[in-house]
Amino acid sequence: MASQTEPEPTLLPAEVTRIRIPITDGSEPETSGYLLRHANDSVTIVDPGESSSLARSAVDCALASAGSPAVAAIFVTHAHRDHAAGAPALARRYDVPVIIHPAELAETEASRDDSWRERRNRQLREWGVPKDQAKAMLGSPHLLPDWQDIKLLLVTDGELLPFSNERFQVVGVPGHTAGSLALFAVADSLLLSGDHLLGHRHVGVGIGADSGIDPIGDQLASLERLRNIGPAVIAPGHGGPFAKVEDRITSERAHLLRRLAEVRSSLDRAPTLSLWQRAATLTWRRPWAELDSRQRRVALTQLAHFVSHLDHVRE
Ligand SMILES: [Zn+2]
């Protein structure tokens, strides 16, 4: 069993260990989970990764390297499958609660039934996706494993992380999802950011069963919030910890504002296009014609959020 833990003495305090957790079917190779060691030597596992034997063994290795401490709780920054799907099995195994924001329960509720299909079909119709394309774009549900019978400890912005002896403060950073949470260790000036802010790429906004009313507005506000908190180091949900946080915030904000300007000028030029038609006229990381069905669905979701933000600020 290869060790997936990395001592990172330069950026992380001794009580925080990064776990590199492989993703078996995503666009990224791995997520970053963390072990937080508390004063009584127990640990909280942050974002245990997807539900796979590879992910499970990465977490097991990290626990073994840490001397097999008692597990106090599992904390999930948000309920996306690549961060949280492994949480229920671990919670059952250690008989501990999963700490999560209430808005993320929409994601776990959506995993219990078939309503995603109806929701997505309705969306594709509203976006003006042609019938012959809609079927391929429907895709499959991003279902989480069964969360029933899991003890949930619901937390929101401003609370202290349970079991952490007041070391970590819970910070609400809605945008990527409506219930995205970060953890801030004041004494270490360290913030665990989940998918709110990454070091190596821009994050998607409003991705989940509950996107909130204006995810772009939420994300911009959360970035401002983060700037005010001013952590020296960020430990993100993908990739390694990084400093120069202010620069990353500035670049993420500039990226969103650039995109908003592009969408605004498209709306001014051609106000009656459907979302599907408009998408084909905008710039994407790759040409629109080359994007596959899943990428197009994600792209349209993002575009819908940008349009609704502009509606929102116009009102
Ligand atoms: Zn995510």
**pLDDT tens sequence across 283-306:** 998 999 999 998 899 899 999 999
CA of 40 to the centre of ligand 1 (A): 31
DSSP readout, 197-259?
S-SSSPPPSS-SS---S-HHHHHHHHHHHHHHH--SEEEESSS--B--HHHHHHHHHHHHHHH
CA of 266 to the centre of ligand 1 (A): 28
- The β-bridge relationship of strands 16-22 and 5-6 is antiparallel
Q: What is the average per-residue pLDDT within 10-25?
A: 92
Kindly report the pTM of this predicted structure.
Answer: 0.91
Residue 117: its pLDDT value, please?
82
Task: Tell whether the model's pLDDT for residue 311 goes beyond 60.
Answer: yes
CA of 206 to the centre of ligand 1 (A): 10
CA of 176 to the centre of ligand 1 (A): 7
Residue 15: its pLDDT value, please?
94
Domain ranges of the chain: 5-243
**pLDDT tens sequence across 144-191:** 788 888 999 999 999 999 998 889 999 999 999 999 999 999 999 999
Contact 192, 34 (CB under 8 A): yes
Contact 223, 247 (CB under 8 A): no
| 5-243: CATH class | alpha beta
Q: Which residues surround ligand 1, an ion (CB under 5 A)?
A: 80, 195
Q: Alpha-carbon distance 204 to 249, whole Å?
A: 14
Residue 4: its pLDDT value, please?
55
> What SS3 state is found at 71?
strand
- Cα(first)–Cα(last) distance of the chain, in Å? 57
**pLDDT tens sequence across 129-145:** 999 888 888 877 666 78
